[in-house]
Amino acid sequence: MPEILLPAFHVTTRTRVNVEIPHELASDLDRYKAFYKESYGADVSEADLIREMTRRFMESDREFQNFKAGARSRSRNSRRVAATPTAEATAK
């Protein structure tokens, strides 16, 4: 079996995605689809490949994960601050 970095993902819920890409990238996606089929014996769509590759890329991007965690943290903190009465409000 060929060595392929992308693990099997063909058993998922599918979502239609429309994007415009250069011809060379479309050709590479077709080749990768063939490589995936040779490796796992399953057909996948371009949309599935793009979705899974994008998800894995973002999961592996440490800077993005830190940014994302910081955004979640800031969002949680702003809700806590808004829910906590201020000293002025409690003094009245």
Between 37 and 48, the higher pLDDT residue? 37
The whole-number pLDDT of residue 84 equals: 53
Count other Cβ atoms within 10 Å, centred on residue 44.
20
The whole-number pLDDT of residue 46 equals: 85
pLDDT in tens, 66-84: 999 988 777 666 655 555 5
Q: How many CA atoms lie within 13 A of 74 on its CB side?
A: 6
